[in-house]
Amino acid sequence: MRILEIALFSSLALLGIVSPQNGRAQDKSSAPASARPEEAPLTKITRTDREWKRQLTPMQYYVLRRNGTEQPYTGATWNNHRAGTYLCAGCGLPLFTSEAKYDSGTGWPSFWQTIQKSHVHEKPDNSLGMRRIAVECARCDGHLGHVFEDGPKPTGLRYCMNSAALKFIPAPNSAKK
Ligand SMILES: [Zn+2]
């Protein structure tokens, strides 16, 4: 009888009906199957100024943490045409894909849409006597660049980013151009 019980329990555990640890039905309510990972609310990443300084290069720190702007035509990705994903250089959050990148002629990497609208924050920036919309990473609040309304179709937006604020991850087997 005991052996039969164990055999029954093992098959139920294999089927995922009961959990081997406590024998109770597993609670799956915390992770509904319909929720894709990118739709989950972002958990903020906060570090002290000292920690950011230690983690980032001086140029990354200047752009991301001091709202700096790199000189045009100097960054690593303004002229990058490879397929891949652009992550936040501060926290690794995916921000843009190569499909939305285009040559804006500005010398800064430019995109007509973000990978996911919730991955960036936009806020008014009236510094330097200009009225602009600054774009920040929604997870670490790192300054990425600005967004303008003179971009190409279909959005008409130009996300004018700093190369230093982005980390490019080439797609597997993407050819180097
Ligand atoms: Zn970030």
Determine whether 140 is an active site residue. no
**pLDDT of residue 84 exceeding 70:** yes
In this structure, are residues 120 and 135 in contact, taking their beta carbons and an 8 Å threshold?
yes
> What is the C-alpha separation between 143 and 56, in angstroms, rounded?
13
The label of the residue with tokens 């894909």 reads 97
Helix (H, G, I), strand (E, B) or coil at 29: coil
Catalytic residue among 91, 137, 140, 160: 160
pLDDT of residue 173: 78
Condensed to tens digits (0 to 9), the pLDDT of residues 46-80 reads 999 999 999 999 999 999 999 999 999 999 999 99
Span from the CA of 24 to the centroid of ligand 1 (angstroms): 39
Span from the CA of 141 to the centroid of ligand 1 (angstroms): 6
**pLDDT of residue 35 exceeding 70:** no
pLDDT of residue 86: 98
Q: HSE on the CB side for 99, CA within 13 Å?
A: 4
Span from the CA of 17 to the centroid of ligand 1 (angstroms): 39
> What is the C-alpha separation between 98 and 147, in angstroms, rounded?
17
The label of the residue with tokens 């555990």 reads 13
Q: Which residues contact 158 (CB under 8 A, 6 or more apart)?
A: 104, 110, 111, 112, 147, 148, 149, 150, 151, 152
Condensed to tens digits (0 to 9), the pLDDT of residues 126-173 reads 999 999 999 999 999 999 999 999 999 999 999 999 999 999 999 997
Span from the CA of 72 to the centroid of ligand 1 (angstroms): 22
